[in-house]
Structure 1
Amino acid sequence: MCLLVGPAGVGKTLLLKRLQFLSGKDKLGDMEEAPATIPTVGTNLVNVQVGKKTELTVRELGGSMGPIWHSYYKDCRQLLFMVDVSNAAQLSASTIQLLTTLTDDRLQDVSVLILLNKVDLPSSMTLTELKSLMRLDDIVCHAKQNVTVLEISAREGQGLVETIAWLKDNNK
């Protein structure tokens, strides 16, 4: 099972809807306008096609569930951690949640994809700014896990094909 976590409002539900739509498509050009979403209260399970005959279940955990995310780590094989790069006020809390998540012993053998979402917005921080503010290079270097960082826009579709490819390549 793959877990999708991150603070409230970072775009987790929209990402799942987009991945579900894309998993059966060959091109981003077929993507419709971004669907409306409401904040997830609790969990949300979605199956995503990552290969011709490979389907992966992704469990989204609502941002407000942060204090109990750890109770879902047991069956986790992959972890998607989403950050809103347009929300500077939330960045320090996101970094603390990321560090807390990465240091949990139950996740030491899990592949991790940090998704820097909302890069399409004018208020988004650059990758250089994020690397400095979050100390991303240090996090990636010192994590027990294999950590990948990807800039995406769940709304516009940027990076979603790469996200599916990562899910496929890291499906254990």
Structure 2
Amino acid sequence: MRTGLVLGLDGAGKTLLMRQLTAQLVHKQKSVLDRLATFLFSPCSNHFDRFKVDDGAVAIDANTQPTVGVEHWTLPLDGGRACTLREVGGQLLPMWPAYFESCHFWLFLVDASNATQLAAAAVELFAVLNMDEMRIKPKLLVLNQIDANFIIDDAVLQTYLCLDRLLSEPDSGPVQVLKTSALTGENTEQILKWLGQAAGNNMTVGRQNSTVEVRVHPIAD
């Protein structure tokens, strides 16, 4: 089973995102079983209209505490795949490098509503990218908490996070950028899709521009 690393400063929403992804997968599995039972046992002849699986966010507990250690989450993905996500707390920042070698891919969360933390988040992101073993691995930059009343402007995010540089360097390995809300579940289906590709080893590592997928969603005009 492939292992991913979930990184980010305190308050970026790592734990909430893990809860949302887990809840969505459980909900999806339950939806399939419920509809299968309806299909098999309901006297209604029009079964197939009931067999559609609803995707999207589910209600989760939004109360979290800063992760002071390491949390492990096992996610059953589509296609019979599964992956383990290792969430390392922001308070363990000096210990992050100890987990780099053992991961196959990684996610870095940035709180897109916290302007005062943006510079520090950018520093730590590029500290990770400066490690050769991490730069070439598949990576997902998650701009989280877009449900907040205040959101940092896209131009500011691109400047501080050097997105043009990140997405254009030929030796940076596969990279994707997503805007999401761990609380509401917005765009988290795209994260599950990305995890399915990463867990299936469907991302090429190396100096190939074709492996770099740019997805900042949504883009401001």
* Bin of the TM-score, shorter chain as denominator length: over 0.9
2:191 equivalent among 163, 167, 172: 163
1:110 to 127, 137, 150: 137
Partner of residue 87 from structure 1, selected from 87, 111, 114? 114
CA distance in 1, matches of 2:61, 2:150: 19
Give % identity.
Answer: 31
Letter of the aligned partner of 1:163 in structure 2?
Answer: I
* Superposed CA RMSD: 1.5
1:61 aligns with 2:88: yes
Question: Distance in 2 between the 1:96 and 1:78 partners?
Answer: 20
* TM-score, normalised relative to structure 1: 0.93
Mapped partners of 1:110, 1:62: distance in 2: 20
Q: Give the deviation of 1:137 after TM superposition.
A: 1.3
Partner secondary structure for residue 143 of structure 2 = strand
Greater CA radius of gyration, 1 or 2? 2
Conserved? CA contact 2:5–2:86, under 8 Å: yes
Q: Does 1:152 align with 2:154?
A: no
Shift of 1:152: 0.4
Q: Which amino acid aligns with 2:112?
A: V
SS at match of 2:84: strand
Counterpart contact for 1:85–1:124, Cα < 8 Å: yes
TM-score, scaled relative to structure 2: 0.73
Select the residue among 15, 22, 29 that pairs with 1:20.
22
Residue 33 of structure 1 and its aligned partner are, at CA, apart by 4.4
Residue deviations 1:46-90, cap 9 Å, x none?
011221411110000001111110100111111000000111111
C-alpha deviation, 1:10, in angstroms: 0.6
Residue aligning to 2:99: 72
State the 1:101 CA deviation. Answer: 0.4
Question: Where does structure 2 lack aligned partners over 5 or more consecutive residues?
Answer: 29-53, 202-221
* Contact 1:34–1:156, Cα closer than 8 Å, also in 2: no
How far off is 1:149 after superposition? Answer: 0.4
Q: Which amino acid in structure 2 is aligned with residue 162 of structure 1?
A: Q
- Which blocks of at least 5 consecutive residues in structure 1 are unaligned? none
> How much does 1:34 deviate?
4.1
Please give the per-residue CA displacement for 1:120-152, whole angstroms capped at 9, x wherever unaligned.
112111323311232211122226221110000
SS of 1:9's partner is coil
1:40 and 2:67 equivalent?
A: yes
CA contact (8 A) 1:2 1:77 kept: yes
